[in-house]
Amino acid sequence: MTKIDLFGLFAEEIATAVAPYGLEKYRGRQIAEWLYQRFVRNFDDMTNLSRATREVLAAHFILGRVELQAAQHAGNGQTDKFLLALGDGLAVETVLMRHNYGNSVCVSSQVGCGMGCSFCASTINGLVRNLTAGEMLAQVLFCCQQLGDTNRPDSIVIMGSGEPLANYEQVLRFIRLCHENYCLNLSYRAVTLSTAGVVPGIDRLAAEGLPVTLAISLHAPNDALRSKLMPINDRYPLAALLAAADRYATQTGRRVTYEYILIAGVNDRDENARELAALLRGRLANVNLIPINSVVESGLLRPEAPRMEQFLSVLRANHVNATIRREMGSDIKAACGQLRHAVLLGDGPESN
C-alpha cells in the first residue's frame, strides 16, 4: 500500500485522512500548523500528539519535502537561487528575493515547460511534468526557513519554470493553501501569476473571483514578431489575449501587468515602443520592461542601458505606466531555468 502524502493537503483533508485512525477532527488543523507554520517534517516532532498516534500516522502517511541540491547567491546578497530536489529526484528552481519593501519568492509550477518560447531556458528540454500544490508550497516554505526570524514572504510570484495556467488545478490549490490562516495567511493580492498567454486559463482564473495579480508575458507589440518569439501566439494571438486581459481587469478590478523582455535588435526600437503604447492605450496596464537574461543557446542579447531608457521614455511619453525591472539575479543566472539547465549539463555552480 502506498502511503498518502499529507503535505499539500488542506486541514479538512488532513482531518479526513487521519480520521480512520481515531484522530479527532481538530487534529487536521494541528497537523497542518506543524507542517506549514513550524516546518516540521517528522511525525515524531508533533509533540501535541501522543506517541502511539505519531507511530500510527508514520505507518500510514508520509510528509513530502524538497531537498536542497544547489544554491547560488547574488553578489548583492539580496537574491538566493535554489535548485530543489523533489521526491522523485527531479529538480526545480526557486528564487528568494529580499527587496527593501519585503521578501518575495519566485515559484516554479512545472518541471521544464512546454511553451517553447525562443528566449527561455526552462523550455529547452520541453515539459517534464506538472508540480503538485504541495511541491509548490514546499518551495515557499524552504525559503521561509531561509528567512529565519521574518519567516514569511510578503509576496509570491509564480514566475519560475513552467506555465502555471497549463497546470491550473494544482496552481489554484497552491494559491488557496497559501491563503489559509494555518498556512501563510497570504492575501490573494500578494500573489502574481505570470502566463505566456493561455486565454482559456485567464478566463477561468477571472471566474474564481480572487484578486490575484495577473502578469502577461507580452514581449512583442504585433503578432508577426510575437509568433516568432512565442509559439503560443499562433493559438491565442494578441487581440484574443488582450481581450482576455481586459475581461480579467474588469472582473477583478486588478490592473494587469505586461512583461516585455527587451532583446537587442529584436523588439527594442522606438517604433516597437510606439506600437506597444498604441496596443495598450486606454487599458488598465502596467508594463514591466525586463532586460533579457542571455541564454547562450538562443544567442539573444540585452540592449545597452541607454536604449532601454529610451524605450521606457517613449512609452511614458505615450502615457503608458512602465518601469524597468530592477535586476536582482542575472549574475547568478537566476532567471528562468538557467540554473537547472546548467546542472543538467554538468557545469553547474558549486553549492555555497
Annotated active-site residue 336? The verdict is yes
Q: State how far the Cα of 33 lies from the Cα of 53, in Å rounded to an integer.
A: 17
Classify residue 87 by its DSSP letter.
T
Report if residue 261 touches ligand SAH, rule: CB under 6 A: yes
Report if residue 155 touches ligand SAH, rule: CB under 6 A: no
Q: CB-wise, 30 or 213, nearer to ligand SAH?
A: 213
Quick note: the x/- pattern for ligand SAH over 207-246, rule CB under 6 A, is ----------x-----------------------------
Quick note: the x/- pattern for ligand SAH over 156-195, rule CB under 6 A, is ---x---x------------------------------xx
Q: CB-wise, 132 or 194, nearer to ligand SAH?
A: 194
User: What residues numbered 104-133 form the site for ligand SAH, per CB under 6 A?
Assistant: 115, 119-120
Residue 140, classified by CB atoms within 10 Å of its CB into exposed (0-12), middle (13-18) or buried (19+), is buried
Annotated active-site residue 55? The verdict is no
Q: State how far the Cα of 192 lies from the Cα of 180, in Å rounded to an integer.
A: 17
Q: CB-wise, 11 or 137, nearer to ligand SAH?
A: 137
Distances (CA, A) of 265 to 270, 296, 304: 11, 17, 11
C-alpha cell recorded at residue 166 = 497549463
Q: Which strands make up the sheet holding 191-195, listed edge to edge?
A: 67-73, 79-85, 91-99, 102-106, 155-158, 191-195, 213-217, 256-262, 285-291, 322-324
Give the phi and the psi of residue 277 in degrees, each rounded to 5. -60, -40
**C-alpha 205, offset from chain centre:** 15
Query: Of residues 9, 138, 196, 266, which one binds ligand SAH by CB under 6 A?
Result: 196
Q: CB-wise, 241 or 295, nearer to ligand SAH?
A: 295
Closest approach of ligand SAH to the CB of residue 119, in Å: 5
From the list 113, 117, 143, 336, the catalytic residue is 336
Among 223, 216, 209, 272, residue whose Cα is nearest residue 246:
216
From the list 33, 67, 93, 178, the catalytic residue is 93
Pairing of strands 155-158, 102-106: parallel
Quick note: the x/- pattern for ligand SAH over 4-43, rule CB under 6 A, is ----------------------------------------
Q: Which stretch binds ligand SAH (CB under 6 A): 7-15, 53-61, 141-149, 285-293?
A: 285-293
Quick note: the x/- pattern for ligand SAH over 86-105, rule CB under 6 A, is --------------------
Report if residue 290 touches ligand SAH, rule: CB under 6 A: yes
3-state DSSP assignment of residue 12: helix
